[in-house]
């Protein structure tokens, strides 16, 4: 064996060993998708109307708060629909000041129009922002859900847009066994608000007695826990509408224990939330702050001093509830509720059957192709078999090393790779036959065959790589699985069909005695 051939053989051996090392043992190193491992397939609808309603409600409250700060007394403020709210009773003497305050507060989102009466204004959300708010709520829901399922420890989850309506997302969780728990984590809104308490009572009537039996415009009544140990009754709290801080002001949250050794959740505020919380707590020492989760007061601790960055949520939590709450708070609140549209479970046994069927199909396909190649090309068929087998081994190494997920369509990509490998060998072998028919020697025929087919193989593989890239970019789920296998299969096939196959021919010819007739069976 000459030096050049020896280096080629060592390179092939090294690539093969690295590939085998990458995926052995396959049960530990190859990641299986939902259809092969089992798990759950969920389709949710993002209720984008709720995101618009929240934006409108919040903006109306901000206008009221800004007007009050500016010393402007307003009449009724009411939300007309998802994207409009109306302000009545603006004093004539403060009209210009109110318009300036309102435009400064919500002018970037709402257009201001004159109402039916003097001192009345209607605020309408800008049409482009209606579209953007809906789209952003879906995008934020995808990001939030993805963070949550990643925290659950799910291997290679899929969270992506779904359907043509523009408001659906698909969630695939391979290997998930506790499906109900996963659903509860995904769907939990975890809307955190911390507001000043203006009063509390065991019923609404007593609570509002000092306010004429009505809820003041800038306040709201929220039910919640009493906060007293052993008391499970409901207490009603009168709270300021405008929150001191919300879940958006959190940097992180983690499960911990309160002063009584019970499960709680500690949180740290970000750079935006810390100054706001510091100001509110510093100005209201001795008063209560209500901690509200999803529309219910979980606790209402007293402010004993200024709080800058850290706080704690206490309540009747179990250890699991504290863990789940910290997870959902850290991932962020969903911008809008989710409605379950479809739920499909794939059992592990069904996934195992799919794996066995895919392996069997690949083995049978490789076997039949090998028999044909041996029949038609005789001993050169062995060359094709080795080339295709190495192609599959290198492809497995690629998939495992890069962490790509193996899916059922991915197995179809494996079978297609066998066909592509054989097709490349057929092109090479037929070209060698043509060269031999011209009475060229074996070495010349092999060299000419590989050299003249190389450009053709590169052209076909580059065009297929472009197609695979587009499938991966614009496809979802199974389509991406197929595109991934196809992409890496094409790359490994160029190496095996051209470099490995040629090296095998050269090796066979090098083993023949010098001066012997250099013939080869093709």
Q: What is the pLDDT of residues 170-199, one digit of tens each?
A: 888 877 767 787 777 777 665 678 888 888
Same domain, 17 and 58: no
Indicate whether 361 and 312 sit together in one domain.
no
- Residue 92 and residue 24 share a domain: no
Q: What is the CATH number of the domain that holds 247?
A: 3.30.1360.200
Asked if 479 and 361 sit in the same domain, the reply is: yes
Between CA 500 and CA 390 the distance in angstroms is 9
Q: Are residues 355 and 502 in the same domain?
A: yes
Spatial distance between the Cα atoms of 99 and 107, rounded to a whole number of angstroms: 10
Domain ranges, residue 323: 189-330
- 317/352 same-domain check: no
Q: Same domain for 506 and 365?
A: yes
Per the structure block, which two tokens stand in for 242? Answer: 């405008």
Sign of CA dihedral 376, 379, 381, 384: negative
Report d(CA 140, CA 189) in Å as an integer: 12
Q: Same domain, yes or no, for 295 and 395?
A: no
Rounded average pLDDT over 78-97: 90
CA angle 389, 392, 395 (to 5 degrees): 150
> What pLDDT score was predicted for residue 520?
57
Residue 152 has pLDDT above 70, yes or no: no
Whether residue 431 sits in one domain with residue 323: no
Model pLDDT for residues 90-144, shown as the tens digit of each residue: 898 888 999 999 998 888 889 999 888 888 999 999 999 899 889 888 887 887 7
Averaged pLDDT score across all residues of the chain: 82
Same domain membership, residue 99 and residue 242: no
DSSP states along 79-146? EEETTEEEE----GGGHHHHHHHHHHHHTTTEEEEE-SSTT-EEEEE-HHHHHHHHHHHHHHHHHHHH
**Is 151 inside a domain boundary?**
no
User: What long-range pairs does 23-27 form, CB within 8 A, spacing at least 24?
Assistant: 23/396, 23/397, 23/399, 23/400, 23/401, 26/396, 26/400
Last residue of a domain, one of 102, 126, 150: 126
Assign residue 363 the CATH number of its domain. 1.20.1640.10
Dihedrals φ, ψ of 287, to 5°? -90, 175
> For residue 180, what pLDDT is reported?
80
State the pTM of this model: 0.57
Q: For residue 133, is it within any domain?
A: no
**Domain-ending residue, one of 74, 100, 126:** 126
List of residues 6+ apart from 430 with CB closer than 8 A: none
The domain tally of the chain equals 3
Which of 300, 330, 360 is the C-terminal boundary of a domain?
A: 330
- Report whether 518 contacts 425 (CB < 8 A): no
Query: Would 379 be classed as within a structural domain?
Result: yes
What is the model's pLDDT at position 522? 62
Which comes out higher in pLDDT, residue 298 or 283?
283
| Cα 322 versus chain centre, distance | 24
């Amino acid at each position: 064996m000459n030096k050049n051939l020896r280096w080629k053989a060592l390179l092939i051996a090294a690539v093969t060993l690295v590939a085998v090392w990458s995926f052995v043992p396959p049960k530990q190193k190859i990641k299986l998708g939902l259809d092969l491992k089992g798990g759950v397939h969920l389709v949710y609808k993002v209720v984008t109307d709720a995101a618009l309603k929240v934006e409108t409600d919040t903006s109306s409250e901000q206008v009221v708060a800004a007007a009050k700060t500016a010393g402007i007394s307003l009449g009724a403020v009411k939300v007309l629909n998802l994207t409009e709210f109306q302000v009545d009773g603006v004093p004539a003497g403060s009209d210009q000041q109110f318009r300036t305050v309102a435009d400064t507060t919500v002018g970037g989102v709402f257009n201001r129009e004159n109402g039916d009466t003097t001192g009345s204004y209607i605020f309408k959300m800008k049409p482009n922002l209606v579209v953007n708010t809906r789209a952003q709520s879906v995008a934020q829901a995808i990001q939030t859900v993805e963070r949550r399922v990643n925290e659950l420890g799910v291997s290679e989850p899929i969270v992506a847009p779904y359907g043509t309506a523009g408001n659906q997302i698909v969630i695939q969780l391979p290997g998930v066994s506790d499906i109900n728990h996963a659903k509860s984590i995904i769907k939990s809104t975890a809307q955190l608000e911390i507001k000043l308490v203006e009063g509390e009572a065991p019923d609404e009537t007593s609570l509002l007695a000092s306010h004429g039996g009505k809820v003041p415009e800038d306040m709201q009544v929220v039910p919640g826990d009493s906060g007293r140990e052993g008391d499970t009754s409901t207490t009603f709290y009168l709270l300021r509408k405008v929150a001191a801080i919300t879940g958006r002001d959190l940097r992180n949250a983690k499960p911990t224990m309160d002063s009584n050794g019970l499960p709680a959740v500690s949180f740290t505020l970000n750079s935006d939330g810390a100054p706001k919380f510091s100001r509110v707590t510093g100005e209201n020492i001795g008063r209560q702050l209500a901690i509200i989760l999803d529309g219910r007061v979980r606790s209402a601790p007293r402010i004993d001093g200024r709080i800058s960055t850290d706080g704690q949520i206490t309540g009747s939590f179990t250890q699991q509830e504290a863990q789940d709450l910290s997870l959902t708070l850290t991932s962020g609140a969903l911008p809008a509720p989710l409605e379950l549209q479809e739920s499909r479970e794939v059992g592990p046994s069904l996934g195992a059957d799919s794996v066995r069927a895919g392996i069997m199909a690949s083995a049978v396909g490789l076997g039949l192709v090998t028999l044909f190649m041996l029949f038609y090309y005789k001993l050169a068929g062995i060359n094709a078999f080795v080339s295709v087998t190495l192609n599959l081994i290198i492809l497995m190494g690629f998939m495992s090393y890069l962490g790509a997920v193996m899916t059922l369509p991915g197995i179809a990509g494996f079978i297609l790779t066998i066909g592509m490998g054989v097709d490349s060998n057929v092109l090479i072998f037929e070209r060698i036959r043509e060269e031999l028919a011209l009475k060229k020697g074996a070495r010349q025929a092999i060299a000419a065959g590989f050299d003249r087919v190389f450009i053709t193989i590169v052209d076909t593989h580059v065009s297929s790589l472009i197609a695979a890239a587009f499938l991966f970019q614009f496809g979802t789920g199974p389509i991406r699985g197929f595109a991934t296998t196809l992409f890496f299969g094409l790359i490994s096939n160029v190496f095996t069909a051209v470099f490995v196959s040629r090296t095998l021919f050269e090796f066979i010819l090098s083993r023949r005695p010098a001066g012997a007739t250099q013939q080869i069976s093709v």
